[in-house]
Amino acid sequence: MEPRLTDQVPAGAGLPETPPRILLADDDPVALMLLTRQLKRAGYDVESVTDGTAALQKVRERFYPLLVTDWEMPGLDGVSLCRAVRSMQLEGYVYILLLTARDSKDHIITGLEAGADDYLTKPVHEAELVARLNTGRRILNLEQSLRGAIQENRWLSITDSLTGAFNRRYLMEQLPREIDRCCRYRRALTVITCDIDFFKRVNDSHGHSVGDVILNLFADRIRKLTRTTTDWIARYGGEEFVIVLPETGFEGGMQAAEKFRAAIESTPFASSAGELRITASFGVAAFDAPDPAGAFGIDALMRQSDECLYRAKQSGRNRVEGVRLSAAPLLSTSVA
């Protein structure tokens, strides 16, 4: 059952297990010492500075989920520091607690409008300081959970649920970026379209559940032979996949495709129907150092790769066909 908002929540529930780092900024050495002691007693990892300029530099160098800053400081004051932090692109949300001796409504509103999440009037009471920071930690925890959910949803939207490879949507979004980058900087790029040979026979003879296992194992075997930092694989549809190899020219692309082909052919795929021998055909389209003026679009690149795959199928399957893309006439190559 989903918990109701009115349910009682134990004190401290929803807080991260480990208190996050705090950056503390205060130009008063006595106040800085007392606040540091209080925060460390509460279990926080505290770094302190004596002015807003130094605090801003610290934020640029390292991420601090919590920032506790005095209002009145020489140079960059607390309100200006809040505005500066809010204008930055950081890896996560920074919860800002503003300390001030000014307790008028106008001053409080000014601080909150500058980007502070909460405020405390000086002198600071230790129990209230810890309680306000616990509130901040709960907000940070919720923000982190929301960020994780968004990232998970994004990941689910661009991956194929069966094989774990990227899906067609991701391919059509990301491949144009890869093409643009390689043309702009005259870098190599290889696109390989591959298709499991006679896959319909697998489904007809053993059922779609076995076919799904083969698709999953096929994608996994290809993935293990690619570079994790640059290469990626997408399921184009049915039993057809596209492998994108940035920084890889025609010769390297042909070698990679042959490596994939041999790996698929050499070892049977284990399934509930027993070990099944599978082969695949590969079509390679590659740039070595493209001329930006004659750049191929995604449709043209995919068409060239598909045509090479078709030739591989027509030539007997379980083989690699490729084309080098350049301003010169296309050079076709085949590997049995």
Residue reference for tokens 């598909």: 306
- In the DSSP assignment, the letter for residue 14 is T
Domains of the chain: 21-156 (3.40.50.2300), 168-335 (3.30.70.270)
pTM for the whole thing?
0.65
Q: How many CB atoms lie within 10 A of CB 80?
A: 16
pLDDT at position 291? 63
8 A C-beta contact, residue 307 and residue 244 = no
Residue type, 34: L
pLDDT at position 333? 54
8 A C-beta contact, residue 165 and residue 217 = no
**210: Cβ contacts below 8 Å, ≥ 6 apart:** 202, 203, 271, 272, 273, 276
Residue 48: pLDDT over 50: yes
Indicate the range of 29-33, 152-156, 296-300 predicted with least confidence.
Answer: 296-300
Question: What average pLDDT does this structure show over 48-77?
Answer: 94
pLDDT at position 17? 47
Residue 5: pLDDT over 50: no
Q: What are the tens digits of pLDDT across the range 221-255?
A: 999 999 989 999 999 999 999 999 999 999 999 99
In the chain, at which residue ranges do the beta strands (DSSP E only) sit? 21-25, 45-49, 66-70, 95-100, 118-121, 189-196, 232-237, 240-246, 269-271, 274-276, 280-287, 320-325, 331-335
Question: What average pLDDT does this structure show over 147-164?
Answer: 89
Determine which one of 126, 178, 239, 240 is catalytic: 239
Residue 10: pLDDT over 70: no
Q: Answer yes or no: 152 catalytic.
A: no
Question: What average pLDDT does this structure show over 211-229?
Answer: 95
pLDDT averaged over the chain? 88
Element spanning 31, H or E: helix 29-41
Q: What are the tens digits of pLDDT across the range 92-136?
A: 899 999 998 877 788 889 989 999 999 998 889 999 999 999 999
d(CA 75, CA 53): 7
d(CA 245, CA 46): 45
| pLDDT-above-70 percentage for the chain | 89
How is residue 32 written in tokens? 């800085």
Residue 1: pLDDT over 70: no
Specify the 3-state DSSP secondary structure of 131.
Answer: helix
Between 265 and 148, where is the model more confident? Answer: 265
